Chain A
């Protein structure tokens, strides 16, 4: 019996949007005890489908065609009160960003309790508490009776997502909709959450609609796959057949765009060291109260590393491992507590204002979030051209240079006068790369530079970076949480955990023979690892 059948669904966008329909003529079924993955890049309309099912479409957007059959009714025709009864009851949803999806001022136990009380107003308080603790146990939260009383900010990202799942499960839904539930999480946490969702789905026989852009995740959990492109279904079918023998180019492109396959980069060089970090220390201290002892977080504990000229060094670790702090300390955006940073043998930490300015010209950074790292009020051309102008290049020359760089990073020179919000994420990241490289740096620090991008865009940006790198003879410090990306681009890889270097070896060695347990754990957590290994083995035969 089908749990949810989406028949010929079209969702109309308001006038002036980039296309007429968010999705058109979508049909697929979800059965009980089945995970259906909706895969597609950003803008493919996958979240719109989820929102249509829950009646959460934004104003001015509505389904103008089709049927959403659930338990013998059409979800599109339900009255407001019927939809509300269904939401959080038979159909529940988990969101992408667990921090913003929880009310920051309310204890998490109360929030889950509230979700239950909405659907069972008569439940007694003791029963409610027991039920909440039971749910917390089921989603694998440690010490439920204590954690119940915690506020969202006191929990880690993974724990928050577990709370969200507990909330979604609180009324025993038949259908769970998960909208990119692991995108904001680390690899290892992602792995745990995926396992949890899969496990709960099997135990409860739920139908799950899982929305993701990561085909590795699909390979790990999907029973059935629906591939979306620009609001239309490209391909659908059982996971095994779609992934192993894709019939459409688009599916194949998505599969090929997953980073971290193929051979690793060439190994070590013995060029002169460009950047040396020696005994770097940093501790963040937050005072918690008048009498409470301050909270100390180690961001860097005696870090030692060397980056040679022309080399790409990847720094990999979970969030909170101190990798971004390292990048910022190298540029002195954050001051280290102790230790030395040597640039061509000269200590960066002792530099005066002018020396620091000259140094920063040679060591550029590309930030993670291409939305946040461009000044929204300045045309991008101006943002790029300002760099060389500060160092004395006349305006006309700087602007000509900028146009050239825009062309080199694959944007039209006419983009010069446009504002950041007129570009897509990938385009913005290209702008940021142009801004960094126009300074003719020797070192580029990429701080999660591709993490916020779609896989296909990610691979384009990675290609661009490695092309430019070999063209200009750059060295690169590449910070990422994604081992697959590191594998794609790095000569050597450093694995960090809570402010310390766990392992440092050539990329090949790290992937073939990891020395440390932690590295192995990270490797195992990579989504779709088994699938891609199988695929590779098959290709080799």
Chain B
């Protein structure tokens, strides 16, 4: 474990990504301390420029403090990104592993089911699900999880299929290990790197989908989110760039940080690189 950590920290991508991510996490953690009030409350006059009236990032069309919104939004974005990715990974990896490792009939069934989901445009399905289930933070997570699993399932299936043919897997079978143990101990660990990388991308996409949902007014009305802020500031972007730029920048930083961490994690989890 030590060596894995060492490799991770020896990658510039890992250090930069982790630092940025730590900043975002810190923002989420400190939001209620620094801005104890609700981010929805008016803090001053509308259309304040950044720095004016002690508002670091200015205020929006309703006079709400953008900095407070960005800080509080970090909590929502991280929560939704991580929770919905976990949901997607749980569904996708389980189905993909079963499809790749069991007989052709089960495989066919799962692949067809995956294709059904893939033919429906992601975002439309997410909107539909949230609209039917009424917007709340948990329905948003569920909806994003449901639209994000098919690529993970396909990738896992392909990975498992190719790893399952390698000789060390057959060797494990010859040792008498049960199918379950072969799958969990030999096949999945060797198939996992690209899945982790894709999952980290999925966190990023989930944050983007959430942003888009909030942008359309389908976010949880109790939580301030970056997507909502970008959406709200969009109409006045020519007059007040800061309303969309700061939350947009927050999305960008978070997504990049997660991708960098995923990349470094990929190297660190590969013993050939981490032990060389």
Contacts and interface: CB of A to CB of B under 8 A. Distances in A.
B167 A369 contact: yes
Nearest to A357: B176
Given A373-B171, A422-B275, A390 B177 contact: yes
A343 to B, nearest CB: 14
B177 to A, nearest CB: 6
A283 B244 CA distance: 65
Residue among B167, B170, B172, B272 having the largest count of chain A Cβ atoms under 10 Å = B167
A136 interface: no
B275 A432 contact: no
Nearest to A447: B167
A387 to B, nearest CB: 4
Given A333-B173, A361-B176, A372 B167 contact: yes
A369 B170 CA distance: 12
Given A386-B177, A390-B176, A435 B171 contact: yes
Residue among A374, A378, A422 having the largest count of chain B Cβ atoms under 10 Å = A378
Nearest to A377: B189
Interface in A429-473: 432, 435-436, 439
B174 A391 contact: no
A319 to B, nearest CB: 16
Nearest to B189: A377
A331 B173 CA distance: 10
Contacts of B171: 365, 367, 373-374, 432, 435
Interface string A357-392: 110110011011100111111100001001100110
Contacts of A390: 175-177, 181
A375 B172 contact: yes
B275 A419 contact: yes
Contacts of B174: 331, 333, 360, 364-365, 436
B161 to A, nearest CB: 16
> Range of interface residues on chain A?
20 to 34
B190 A375 contact: yes
> Range of interface residues on chain B?
20 to 34
Contacts of B172: 375, 386
A373 B174 CA distance: 11
A375 B168 contact: yes
A483 to B, nearest CB: 24
Contacts of A368: 167
Contacts of A432: 171
Nearest to B171: A373
Given A386-B177, A390-B177, A421 B168 contact: no
A387 B175 contact: yes
B167 A367 contact: yes
A181 B189 CA distance: 36
Contacts of B185: 378, 386
A310 to B, nearest CB: 21
B238 interface: no
A421 B275 contact: yes
Interface in A410-429: 419, 421-422
Contact of A372 (B166, B177, B189): B166
B176 A360 contact: yes
Nearest to A331: B174
Contact of B190 (A369, A377, A419, A421): A377
A358 B175 CA distance: 10
Contacts of A436: 174
A386 B271 contact: no
A388 to B, nearest CB: 9
Contacts of A386: 172, 175, 177, 185
Nearest to B163: A375
Interface string B179-198: 00100011001100000000
Nearest to A445: B174
A360 B173 contact: yes
Contacts of B275: 419, 421-422
Nearest to A432: B171
A539 to B, nearest CB: 40
A421 B177 contact: no
Contacts of A360: 173-176
A361 B176 CA distance: 6
Given A361-B176, A390-B175, A435-B175, A419 B271 contact: yes
Contact of B167 (A373, A378, A421): A373
A439 B175 contact: yes
Nearest to A373: B167
Interface in A39-56: none
Contacts of A333: 170, 173-174
A222 to B, nearest CB: 35
B108 to A, nearest CB: 15
A375 B175 contact: no
A377 B271 contact: yes
A226 B219 CA distance: 75
Given A360-B174, A360-B176, A390-B176, A373 B168 contact: yes
A421 B272 contact: yes
A158 to B, nearest CB: 25
Interface string B145-174: 000000000000000000000111011111
Contacts of A378: 185-186, 189
Residue among B175, B185, B190, B272 having the largest count of chain A Cβ atoms under 10 Å = B175
A391 B190 contact: no
Contacts of B178: 357
Nearest to A358: B176
Given A377-B189, A419-B271, A421-B272, A367 B173 contact: no
Given A369-B167, A373-B167, A432-B171, 13 more contacts: A331-B174, A333-B174, A357-B178, A358-B176, A364-B174, A368-B167, A377-B190, A378-B186, A386-B177, A387-B175, A421-B271, A421-B272, A436-B174
Smallest CB-CB A-B distances: 8 pairs: A373-B167, A387-B175, A372-B167, A375-B168, A367-B167, A357-B176, A390-B176, A377-B189
30 contacts: A328-B170, A333-B170, A357-B176, A357-B178, A358-B176, A360-B173, A360-B174, A361-B176, A365-B170, A369-B167, A373-B167, A375-B168, A375-B190, A377-B189, A377-B190, A378-B189, A386-B172, A386-B175, A386-B177, A386-B185, A387-B176, A390-B175, A390-B176, A390-B177, A390-B181, A421-B271, A421-B272, A422-B275, A435-B175, A436-B174
